[in-house]
Structure 1
Amino acid sequence: MAKLKIGFVGVGGMGQMAHLSNYAVLRDECEVVALAEPRPQLAEQVARRYGVPQVFANHLELIERADVDAIVAAQQYRNHHAIIPDILRAGIPVFTEKPLSLTVETGEHIVKLGEENHTLHMVGYHKRSDPAMEYAGKLAEEWRSSGEFGKLRYIRVTMPPGGWKGGADEPLTSNEPFPSIPMEPGPADFTENQVKQLDAFVNYYIHQVNAIRFFLQESYQLTFGDRSGVLMAGESDSGVTVVLEMAPYRTSFEWHETIQVCFERGFIRIDLPAPLARQVAGKVTVMRDNGKGQPSYVHPVMPNMSAMKKQAMNFIAAVQGTRPAPCAAKEALEDLKLAENYIRYMSHHYD
């Protein structure tokens, strides 16, 4: 199969550390042939480091003049409204960072454009691509199908703030000002304070909101949020209880993100590494106790591959049609609906 020609729209800090550095080493699968970056000094530095032959000032120039099979648009999510529609209208498969947008309204518009133009839009929930998550997801599906360990009862995600860079190399920088793209406004019925709360929630916790759905394989609704903003609880369509523990504590250097998927007679636990940790996968613990023998704890060994690199491989495969995207835009829209409902719930009950 021919190598994909990839274009990058935006090569700031996350564009380099989380994405470009991973695509650049997938030499048998793709080649990065163009980048668009409005800061010319930074654009030239990055193009030289990664050997990117074409440099453009903005995404419209890249769309018009570059021959690309797909685009990685590593933008801040409140810029998506100003950039992603043009890429979708051009019919070019695109990858964006999480979340889909700030608001449900903008998210619905982006999803509609993708559907109208029959264009793939993968949203960067990189945790879904972690080898530990992929392993745990398949195992949970096996348990759900076989019924050997009873029904799925409970999912708990804990995500205290910590050292999220995980020792990653610093990106190239310049003293040039950031491009002046008008940020997407908040929902029309939100106050300024609610918009700030929504912005913070989707920035820090939308990954975990999405991870819960990954294991449920169905929708869920908010049922409770505590006054301090530490705990959010919900219930799935089939009655599975879910809990997200937000910042019960914080760490200075380590990363303590965990997911526990509980069946009646066993559980699957995933301990995830810092988001930018290089070539480190999560760890899985499997507890089985179905009453047919000695209870067991198993710790399967994962490959030395980061979620970000596997995510790049998964996007390439999705563009080539050899596997579905781990999370496409239409599903990512559900995360925004829950996020807006959470902020409305908190404002109604505690403001």
Structure 2
Amino acid sequence: MAQKVHIPNILLLQESCELVAIAEVRSELGRKVQQRWGIPKLYRDHLELAADPSIEAVAVSGHYANQGEIAIDLLRAGKYVFLEKPMAIMLEQAQRIVEAERESGKRLMLGYMKRFDAGNLLAKEMLEGYLSSGEMGAVRYIRNSGILSEWTAGLDTPMETTDEPMPQTDVRWPDWLPAEHRNAYIGYLQQYTHNVNLLRWLTGAGDRVQVVSAKLDVQANWGVVVLEVNGVTATIESGSCSGHEWNEHTTIYMDGGWIRLDSPVLLLRNVPAGVEVYEGFKPNKETRKLFPENGRTWPYKEEMRHFIEAVRNDLPFGAPAADAVNDVRVLEDIFKKHLESMAKAQ
């Protein structure tokens, strides 16, 4: 993600920032990336980078279980932090990140690019309008389906590789998570944190999300999770299969119709989520497909643009750390329910 997405996007935003350094513990890989992109400084690790007083903000993409710890070190060193999801692998870690943020006086933003997708933004605006006017009635049910497949969209941005081993991390795992289920948990967490976050954000649910049930297979791949989101029943269907598409859809059903979102392939540039609205309360029962005015933008670039501008102008983050704690709590609860369901089935 750093090489394919974040470094190129930061360099495209040089009217508002300067990319001055990278940190990489694999020295040969670090040199190759530095040379390819013409980055002035290369640090051996994030602590060495954190000691550079000229650096104001840092983007972190690392091991899912360890990147939150890197973020804590950077916050304590007085840096603003952009952190790839997931924020943490357990609630205790997420809470320590927020505490480090509070103590440092700096701020952390999560890489929830779906919040910067022009189609999703349009759908959220329309939903808020319907609920404000009352013409569609109340939200009655939400269905999110994420049956995943090819996600890179053939993105051909160069990526350096070496034979150096992956960095070893001293991971502190949740006490409730059996060792044999760690890979399944990380796999589900790193993907479906997007889905949980999207449902919370679209509906303005905040922390008003509870896990009702979770029925997943042993690998936590195929299955269905039932949530209560802002008092409304919502489901997240999960799975993966071979294919060239990204089969992720969200439908918000109301008394008078529905709004449907079709998510694009993740790394497909400048294609927003598809937006379809059915207004069954109207005499002619209209179905409309909408394209947002600023639709030819890439959410990954827009989230980085937002992060930089928010740091420069001391503006609120669109995906703040304090809000993302809710996703960690919900994902923990989902997997606990999954383990309980498997134990009962045995």
Fold shared per TM-score above 0.5: yes
Q: Equivalent of 2:286, from 281, 289, 296?
A: 296
Residues 135-189 of structure 1 deviation map (CA, whole Å, 9 limit, x = unaligned)? 111221122222121112222111112001111125121222222232x232113
What is the CA–CA distance in structure 1 between the aligned matches of 2:254 and 2:305, rounded to whole Å?
31
SS of the counterpart of 1:160?
strand
Q: Equivalent of 1:258, from 249, 268, 273?
A: 249
Instruction: Tell me the residue number matched to 2:209.
Output: 220
Whether 2:254 is the aligned partner of 1:233: answer no
Stretch of structure 1 that moved more, 100-109 or 258-267: 258-267
Stretch of structure 1 that moved more, 73-82 or 199-208: 73-82
Alpha-carbon spacing, 1:320–1:142, altered in 2? closer, same or farther (3 Å): farther
Alpha-carbon spacing, 1:134–1:296, altered in 2? closer, same or farther (3 Å): same
Whether 2:176 is the aligned partner of 1:176: answer no
Instruction: Tell me the residue number matched to 2:75.
Output: 88
Q: Equivalent of 2:39, from 48, 52, 55?
A: 52
Shift of 1:289: 2.4
Q: Which amino acid aligns with 2:212?
A: T
Whether 2:12 is the aligned partner of 1:18: answer no
Residues 189-208 of structure 1 deviation map (CA, whole Å, 9 limit, x = unaligned)? 32213433322220221111
Q: Is the 2:61–2:67 contact (alpha carbons within 8 Å) kept by the matching residues of 1?
A: no
SS of the counterpart of 2:19?
strand
Shift of 1:245: 0.6
Instruction: Tell me the residue number matched to 2:332.
Output: 340
SS of the counterpart of 1:24?
helix
Instruction: Tell me the residue number matched to 2:148.
Output: 161
Instruction: Tell me the residue number matched to 2:271.
Output: 280
Q: Which amino acid aligns with 1:231?
A: V
Shift of 1:66: 5.2
What is the CA–CA distance in structure 2 between the aligned matches of 1:322 and 1:108, rounded to whole Å?
23
Residues 282-326 of structure 1 deviation map (CA, whole Å, 9 limit, x = unaligned)? 2111222223x3222222224221211111112112213465322
Q: Is the 2:20–2:39 contact (alpha carbons within 8 Å) kept by the matching residues of 1?
A: yes
Q: Which amino acid aligns with 2:226?
A: A
What is the CA–CA distance in structure 2 between the aligned matches of 1:81 and 1:240, rounded to whole Å?
31
Stretch of structure 1 that moved more, 158-167 or 50-59: 50-59
Q: Equivalent of 1:305, from 276, 291, 297?
A: 297
Query: After TM superposition, which residue ranges in structure 1, 4 or more long, deviate above 6 angstroms?
Result: none
What is the CA–CA distance in structure 1 between the aligned matches of 2:89 and 2:127, rounded to whole Å?
31
SS of the counterpart of 2:168?
coil
Instruction: Tell me the residue number matched to 1:129.
Output: 116
**Unaligned stretches of 5+ in structure 2?**
none
Normalised TM-score (structure 2): 0.91
What is the CA–CA distance in structure 2 between the aligned matches of 1:21 and 1:188, rounded to whole Å?
39
CA RMSD of aligned residues (A): 1.8
User: How many percent identity over aligned positions?
Assistant: 29
Instruction: Tell me the residue number matched to 1:316.
Output: 308
Q: Equivalent of 2:175, from 156, 178, 188?
A: 188
How many residues in Structure 1 have an aligned counterpart in Structure 2?
334
Residues 243-267 of structure 1 deviation map (CA, whole Å, 9 limit, x = unaligned)? 10111x6232211111112221122
Q: Is the 1:314–1:323 contact (alpha carbons within 8 Å) kept by the matching residues of 2?
A: no
Whether 2:20 is the aligned partner of 1:33: answer yes
